[in-house]
Amino acid sequence: MPQLKILVTSEPDGGLAAFRHGELEATFHLWSQGGTLPLLDGMAWAFVDWILPDISGLEVYRRLRCNPLTAQARITMVLDGDDLATRKQVLRAGADDYVVGPLSRTAILDRIMTSLPAESNEPGPALQVGGLTIDLAAFQARYRGKHITLMPNEFRLLRYFVEHPGRVFTRSQLIAALGKQEPLIDERTVDVWIGRLRRALRAAGAGDVLRTVRSLGYVFDQS
């Protein structure tokens, strides 16, 4: 049975009771940055408050990304208000998305259930282009067997490029492809994602497979 561990930095209205839907079993865990993480034997999704008593939510986000156990977790920042500058800061930092709090258990589960189907509707077990392998079930990418360390946004971008080789995508098209439909996202945030993806690919030996098309966008050059 697929397992989903939901980490929250404050208890949501409605409590922390486990949730089961079909084959999915989701359990809530109230977690502070100084506490011990639960056993993450499946998917992990963290809802991190932007404002916390002793530490900033952004610092908690950074620590989650630096921890190998949670580096690939989906992270949603919980904002106090719908402030444009804060939203831009959250997305530029690399968080997957954000919500405006306070959160309830129902709101968290609604967000999860509307997001998981699109990501679990995999067309096949893996995508293969040259030496590059995209393992859809494991949410991992490898180049000639070497693991490529990617955060969720970069992994999803890479998958999208690999599924559409040779096609130029604008920043707005890439934002839409990742499900980032908010109209006020700064399109330059895509440049940050692309930069991280390029560095990860180069580190794995894949070279410069992402090409910038001036004044248009980006394209994946199939080798």
Residue 180 has pLDDT above 70, yes or no: no
Residues 201-208: contacts with CB under 8 Å, at least 24 apart: 201/143, 201/148, 201/158, 203/148, 203/149, 204/142, 204/143, 204/146, 204/147, 204/148, 205/143, 205/144, 205/146, 206/131, 206/132, 206/143, 206/148
Residue 182 has pLDDT above 70, yes or no: no
pLDDT digits over 68-122, tens only?
Answer: 888 888 999 999 887 888 888 888 888 888 888 888 999 898 888 877 654 444 4
Residue 135 has pLDDT above 60, yes or no: yes
Average pLDDT, the chain: 82
Edge-first strand order for the sheet with 126-129 is 126-129, 132-135, 140-143, 146-148
Model pLDDT, residue 137: 67
Please state, in angstroms and rounded to a whole number, the distance separating the CA atoms of residues 83 and 200.
31
pLDDT digits over 27-74, tens only?
Answer: 899 888 667 777 776 788 999 998 888 888 888 888 888 888 888 889
Least confidently predicted of 133-137, 170-174, 201-205: 133-137
Please state, in angstroms and rounded to a whole number, the distance separating the CA atoms of residues 143 and 204.
6
Please state, in angstroms and rounded to a whole number, the distance separating the CA atoms of residues 209 and 223.
8
CB 168 within 8 A of CB 217: yes
pLDDT-derived band at 172, boundaries 50, 70, 90:
confident
Model pLDDT, residue 118: 46
Strand, coil or helix: what is 216?
Answer: coil
The pLDDT > 90 percentage for the chain reads: 15
Most confidently predicted of 36-40, 135-139, 219-223: 219-223
Model pLDDT, residue 125: 63
Mean pLDDT for 187-198 is 86
Please tell me whether the overall predicted TM-score, pTM, comes out greater than 0.75 for this model.
no
Mean pLDDT for 172-190 is 68
Q: Which domains does the chain have, with CATH numbers?
A: 3-120 (3.40.50.2300), 126-220 (1.10.10.10)
pLDDT digits over 150-166, tens only?
Answer: 887 888 888 888 888 88
Q: Running DSSP on this structure, what letter comes out for residue 38?
A: P
Residue among 124, 101, 113 at smallest CA distance from 52: 101
